[in-house]
Every structure is written in structure tokens, then in C-alpha cells.
Amino acid sequence: MGCQEMVVLTGYETVKEALVNQAKAFAERAVVPIFEDYAKGFGVIFAHGENWRQMRQFSIAALRDYGMGKRIVEDKISEECSVLIKTYATYEAILSLVPLLLAIWASVNHANEEEDDWMKCFEDPNYEELLNIARNGLEKTSNPKRIVIVGAGISGLTAAKLLKDAGHQVSIIQILHQMQNLNKLRDLFVDGIFVSMFLGFLNLFSFEEITGGFDQLPNSFCQEMSKIIYLNSRVEKIIRSSKYVKVFFHKDDEDDSSFLIADYVLVTATAKATRLIKFQPPLSLSKAYALRSLHYTSATKIALVCKDKFWEREGIRGGASLTDLPTRLVTYPSHDFPGGLGVLLVSYTLHDDADFFAPLSDDECLDVVMDDLSKIHNISKYYLESVCNRHVIQKWALDKFSMGAFTFPTPYQYNFFLKALFQNEGRVYFAGEHTTYPFGWIDSSMKSAIRAACSIHLNAHKSISQDLKDSVW
């Protein structure tokens, strides 16, 4: 820079103030005369002024879309490249650019094809059949069986609905009072939409919702099957034989254990929670090893209810902020809530980032995210605490029922364990997100439940001929 005077900016707050809040004055590139004469102010590397600001704004927007899984720009690039190739082909002086444009166009197309091939790994050949069963149910049975389902999560409720409608005698054993917990959240946040945002895992690639809140799905199941659910009951032992299965469980308000006798049992607890159940005879070595070894990840969500939607003053409606601060991901609502409230998923962390919050108290967690939110939006922490005064914090790693967020297999675990995880052990069947692919999704849990219900239903029909054969003897 020769003998020109320079100003050095140091410190996070100073740099942010200059480059973000005073960007028009500070976020500029110096004009280098030799490059100005050569490039005339164009190009990415040597651009400056308004041209550079527009290119920078476009680049940030495009990269943000890529980071959020959106591929809108790819189609535009592909279309633009094909037009430019035809146009530039008429100019000899710039023919050297054609190979570069061809390379860009080919790489975009290859990425699309490569992703399509990768997605084929998750295609279920039985998907249409399972979808048809979900819509129309199973055929009515002429040989109803007693079926006990362990767990009233979405997997257990799905299987129970199908089997009950098919004519089987179904009982569900649930460790906690699920309806009560969901209602507490609804009362706290006055609108069920929050339940879908908070309890459901965020899908960054697309967004669909159940009108009125995601909790309506399990609640609808529970209302229909309330008479067959044993709430606040922990399954302790499962004894199986070739003829029946006996399930021992303990209710919180009773001293002695109770038991149910069933023809089939479906276990929908997580892999970790299943290990707390004693099986007689013991599970196969492959099943026990898979349940013991399968890796689960951590997840922590912290949500705030704010009387002032301060983020909307910055033009933010929907989307998310990514940061290297402990908060990591702030998700903004695209919904309108009653009373002008705003529900902010102020932190959603996975893996080691989630473990950071695990040993902290709720007050300490709130202090951390308020600090981060204050820095991200350049707003007073005191003000944030005054307008965002209601919260929910969920740490799945510390949840004593799930004992983890969701399955996150280490390399090769998927190939080694999947068959053992969903394979039945005699009259005991298994379902849940950990027994199918892709792991970690609600629809995967429901798909595994439909498949397990079909297997039980089919075996019930097969047993008719065996019962007739036994009666002859």
C-alpha cells in the first residue's frame, strides 16, 4: 500500500460494527489502478464498489441456500451456462472460456445425478405397499390374537391402530403419561404449532405441518385407544415360549408388578431403553450385540416465547442463523401466533454441541443463549430477558426414557446391525426408527411399525392351519 495511512480494526464488536452495521462505509475493496485498467471494474477477484457489493450479496444468498439444502441456483447456473456457451461460441477471442463453462455445466449436472443415485439407497421397494396399508389398513382377521405393544410413541401407536382395526385384541404399555406432557407444552405456549416446532426434529430441506400442531397426531391416536393404554407403567420382563408371551410391568402407583399374556409382543422402545428389559430366554447374540453397540447421538433444543418479534425488524421471517457460538443454530418462525407472540427455537444442537449444554442447569443454558442472541442481533441482553420470559429446554441425552436423541450409526454399523435390529425373536417383534432407514425420522418409525404390524398379522393367519392341526391331535 506504499505510504498510505491505514486503520486496523480489532476485536469482534469493532469489526462487526464496521463490516455489518456500517458496511457501506467500510465493506469496500481498494481500487488497484493496474487491475482497474485491465478488468474495467468487472470480475469477481478485482471488482469493487457497487459491482462487488452486488456480487457479494448474491454469493452470500446462494451459499446460504446451498447450506440449507436448497438447489434453486443450480438450475439457473445450468441454464445460464448453456446459453453462454452458444453465445460465446461466436467469438474467437473468448473461446478459451468455453471449456470452463462446460466444466461448470457438467459439474452441476453430475452433482444432480450423483445425488439422485445416492438417494436411491433410501428408496424402499415396499414403500407403495406400506403406504396403501397406512391409508386403507390391514384386512380383517378371522383369527384375532392378543397383542401387547411396549411403548406408545408414534411407532407403537401406529402399529396398535392397524392391528386393532384389523380385529386383534391390543394392549399398549406406556412408561409415562404422554397426553399430560403434551398438554403442559400446549398450555405453556398457547398454540399447538409450537409443539410441532419444538418436539419434531427440524427438516431443513422442506417444511410441512399438521394444521393446529403436530401433537394432534399422537393425541388422535391416544384418544381413540385410551381404553387400551396402560400409562405410567414400566415393562420389566418379557418371558416367551412357543405358545405365548408373558409381559411383566410395574405401575408407578402400585407396589406389586402386573402381567399380561399375549400371543405376540411388539417392542417399540429405543435400542438403549430395550436393554433395560429382561428377556427370557435371552435375546440372540446378534440382537443383543446390535442393541448394545448401536450409536445414538445427543440433541438439545431450547425454545423461547417472545412478546416482541425483534428479528422481524431486521426483515427475518423464517429461515435460520448459523453461528460458531454455543447456540449454533437459531431457527426463526414463519408462522403467526396468537396475541402477537413469537416462538423462537433459539438453539438446536446435535452431537458434541448438544453435550455442551448437558451439564448446565436451565438457568445457565438460558444465560448462554441470551448472550449469543444478543451478539447475533446486536440487541441488549437485558431487553431480551424482559421480552422472552418463557422457555422450554429439552436435552435428549438426559431423557431417562429415550436415553438419547436418535440413532446415528458409526461407519459400517448400518450394514452390520440393521437386519438384527428388526428381526423378530420368536413371538417378540421390534419396531422404531432404529430398526429401519433412514434413521432418526418420524416417518421411518411409522414405516417400521407398519411392517411389523403386517408381519404379526400375517403370522396370525398362518397360525390358523397350525391350530387346526394341533386340534386333530
User: pLDDT per residue over 221-239, tens digit each?
Assistant: 877 888 888 888 999 999 9
Using the predicted structure, report yes or no on whether residue 125 has a pLDDT greater than 80.
no
Query: Which ranges of 68-153 does DSSP label H, i.e. alpha helix?
Result: 72-88, 97-120, 127-136
The CA distance from 249 to 103, in Å, is 64
Determine the straight-line distance between the first and last CA of the chain, rounded to whole angstroms. Answer: 102
Section 59-82 average pLDDT? 61
Q: What is the CATH number of the domain that holds 247?
A: 3.50.50.60
The confidence band for 119, taking pLDDT boundaries of 50, 70 and 90, is low
φ, ψ of residue 69 in degrees (nearest 5)? 85, 10
Q: Which of 368, 398, 428 is the last residue of a domain?
A: 398
Strand partners, 300: 349, 395
Give the rounded percent of residues in the chain with a pLDDT score beyond 90: 39
| Residue 135, domain member (yes or no) | no
**Residue 193 and residue 317 in one domain:** no
What pLDDT digit, counting tens, does each position of 327-385 carry? 999 999 887 777 778 889 999 999 999 999 999 999 999 999 999 999 999 999 999 99
pLDDT of residue 215: 73
The confidence band for 449, taking pLDDT boundaries of 50, 70 and 90, is very high
pTM as predicted: 0.69
Q: What is the 3-state secondary structure (H, E, C) of 305-335?
A: EECCCHHHHHCCCCCEEECCCCCCEEECCCC
| Residue 93, domain member (yes or no) | no
| Residue 446, domain member (yes or no) | yes
**Residue 160 and residue 262 in one domain:** yes
Query: Which ranges of 215-344 does DSSP label H, i.e. alpha helix?
Result: 216-224, 271-274, 285-293
Q: Which of 345, 372, 398 is the last residue of a domain?
A: 398
**Residue 238 and residue 256 in one domain:** yes
Residue with cell 432404529: 434
Domain of residue 441, residue span:
144-201+209-295+410-461
| Residue 259, domain member (yes or no) | yes
| Residue 99, domain member (yes or no) | no
**Residue 196 and residue 227 in one domain:** yes
**Residue 170 and residue 276 in one domain:** yes
**Residue 217 and residue 330 in one domain:** no
Sign of CA dihedral 58, 64, 67, 71: negative
| Residue 472, domain member (yes or no) | no
* More confident site: 446 or 338: 446
Segment among 57-71, 234-248, 270-284 with least mean pLDDT: 57-71
* 84 CB-side CA count, 13 A: 18
**Residue 274 and residue 166 in one domain:** yes
What pLDDT digit, counting tens, does each position of 419-438 carry? 999 999 999 999 999 998 88
The confidence band for 58, taking pLDDT boundaries of 50, 70 and 90, is low
| Residue 314, domain member (yes or no) | yes
**Residue 301 and residue 272 in one domain:** no
| Residue 265, domain member (yes or no) | yes
Q: What is the CATH number of the domain that holds 372?
A: 3.90.660.10
**Residue 314 and residue 288 in one domain:** no
> What total of structural domains would you count in the chain?
3
pLDDT of residue 6: 77
**Residue 12 and residue 81 in one domain:** yes
**Residue 252 and residue 336 in one domain:** no
**Residue 308 and residue 430 in one domain:** no
Helix axes 285-293, 413-422, angle to 10 degrees: 130
